[in-house]
């Protein structure tokens, strides 16, 4: 009689194990790790509940379970994260793109469609895995938007830019996007007053907040998260320099952290930006701010 574990059994065991380690989504994590290993969709695990696993599969799965128990994020273990229905390669050199950042992309898409200029310059600062700029380029490409759009994306991390370029290539938009390395607006010298849309999801975690983060989040690059004592360091720097890069009537779009809307709005108004608009996410949390450069 076979004593090999079935899919159903190994999922039950792993879920119980992850619960002991106080993971927030034990069953989901167990399923995602197994489905990826077996090259299946999660739903297929259920259809194949009674399938016995090969010894080799169990060994490989066990390695993944050990990694997850050490609080390595699922996305780093399987090597990718879905964002805007696209798969992005990730490793521990880049932030794992978050679902809430889709609001930045969706709002940017609406704004781009409403801009009347025929040719546009879109710039993303702090691109990380490239999820934002690549999703934008891909979606606008598919919508066959009649505008001519140039994209520039920057990051201070060269290893992040390598991943972003790989992702751009994977999604067929590498030749549309210029990737530049450097500190915030510094690589954009040639773009003075040219950006019609300047986007960023910068680091925004305050020093005190850092201590309270889940262990998984602390596995992500500190460079992608930490933003000084009050978490506003990057907003201050971006907003004070953005004016020189943004074209007349151009827009600045920023993702913001919990409770930062008022402070960022004030920074924008103090710098003379107009039409400051705060956009909530589905949980009605202010998540994105757009503002126009005054002419």
Ligand X SMILES: C[S@@+](CC[C@H](N)C(=O)[O-])C[C@H]1O[C@@H](n2cnc3c(N)ncnc32)[C@H](O)[C@@H]1O
| DSSP code per residue over 201-212 | ----B-HHHHHH
Nearest distance, CB of residue 57 and ligand X, angstroms: 32
Which one among 224, 232, 238, 252 touches ligand X, defined by CB under 6 A? 224
Q: Which of 95, 152, 261, 279 binds ligand X (CB under 6 A)?
A: 95
Asked if 57 interacts with ligand X (CB under 6 A), we say no
Q: Which of 26, 203, 250, 253 binds ligand X (CB under 6 A)?
A: 203
HEC assignment per residue over 220-254: CCHHHCECCCCCCHHHHHHHHHHHHHEEEEEEEEE
Please report whether residue 128 would count as binding ligand X according to CB under 6 A: yes
**Four-residue CA torsion sign, 28, 31, 34, 36:** negative
Which residues on adjacent β-strands are paired with residue 59? none
Q: 177-191: buried (b, 16+ CB within 10 Å) or exposed (e) per residue?
A: bebbeeebbebbeeb
Q: Which long-range contacts (CB under 8 A, 24 or more apart) does 270-279 make?
A: 271/239, 271/240, 271/242, 271/243, 272/243, 273/239, 279/103, 279/107
User: Among 12, 37, 40, 156, which residue interacts with ligand X (rule: CB under 6 A)?
Assistant: 156
Among 155, 168, 197, 250, binds ligand X (CB under 6 A): 155
User: Is 260 a binder of ligand X (CB under 6 A)?
Assistant: no
191: which 2 tokens?
């773009």
- Give the nearer residue to ligand X in terms of CB position, either 108 or 132: 132
* Least distance from ligand X to the Cβ atom of residue 148, Å: 24
Which of 26, 202, 253, 286 is in the footprint of ligand X by CB under 6 A? 202
184 touches ligand X (CB under 6 A):
yes
Bridge-based pairing of strands 286-292 and 246-255 is: antiparallel
**Per-position b or e across 50-64, b if 16+ CB within 10 A of its CB:** ebebeeebeebbeeb
The one segment of 9-17, 32-40, 127-135, 165-173 that binds ligand X by CB under 6 A: 127-135
Q: Which is nearer to ligand X, 18 or 235 (CB)?
A: 235
Could you say which of 35, 38, 126, 191 contacts ligand X (CB under 6 A)? 126
Q: Does 75 bind ligand X (CB under 6 A)?
A: no
Position 72 contacts ligand X (CB under 6 A): no
CA distance 249 to 295: 6
- Does the protein bind ligand X through residue 223 (CB under 6 A)? yes
Query: Where along the sequence are the contacts to ligand X (CB under 6 A)?
Result: 95, 97, 101, 126-129, 131-132, 155-157, 160, 183-184, 201-203, 223-224
């Amino acid at each position: 009689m076979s004593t090999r574990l079935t899919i159903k059994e190994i999922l039950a065991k792993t879920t119980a194990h992850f619960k002991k380690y106080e993971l927030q989504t034990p069953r989901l994590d167990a399923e995602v790790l197994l489905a990826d290993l077996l090259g299946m969709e999660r739903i297929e695990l259920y259809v194949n509940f009674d399938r016995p696993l090969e010894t080799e599969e169990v060994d490989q799965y066990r390695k993944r379970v050990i990694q997850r128990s050490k609080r390595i994020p699922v996305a780093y273990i399987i090597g990718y994260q879905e964002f805007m229905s696209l798969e992005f390669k990730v490793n521990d050199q880049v932030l794992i793109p978050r679902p809430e950042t889709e609001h930045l992309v969706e709002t940017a898409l609406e704004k781009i469609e409403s801009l009347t200029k025929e040719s546009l310059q879109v710039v993303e600062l702090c691109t990380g895995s490239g999820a934002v700029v690549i999703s934008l380029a891909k979606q606008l490409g598919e919508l066959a938007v009649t505008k001519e759009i140039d994209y520039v994306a920057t990051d201070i991390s060269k290893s992040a830019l390598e991943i972003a370029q790989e992702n751009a290539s994977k999604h067929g938009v590498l030749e549309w996007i210029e990737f530049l390395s450097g500190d915030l607006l510094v690589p954009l010298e040639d773009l003075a007053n040219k950006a019609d849309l300047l986007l960023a999801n910068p680091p925004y975690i305050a020093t005190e907040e850092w201590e309270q983060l889940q262990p998984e989040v602390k596995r992500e690059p500190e460079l992608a998260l930490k933003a000084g004592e009050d978490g506003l360091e990057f907003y201050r720097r971006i907003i004070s320099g953005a004016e020189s890069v943004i074209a007349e009537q151009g827009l600045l779009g920023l993702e913001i952290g919990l409770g930062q809307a008022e402070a960022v709005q004030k920074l924008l108004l103090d710098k003379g930006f107009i039409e400051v608009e705060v956009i909530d996410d589905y949980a009605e949390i202010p998540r994105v701010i757009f503002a126009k450069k005054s002419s």
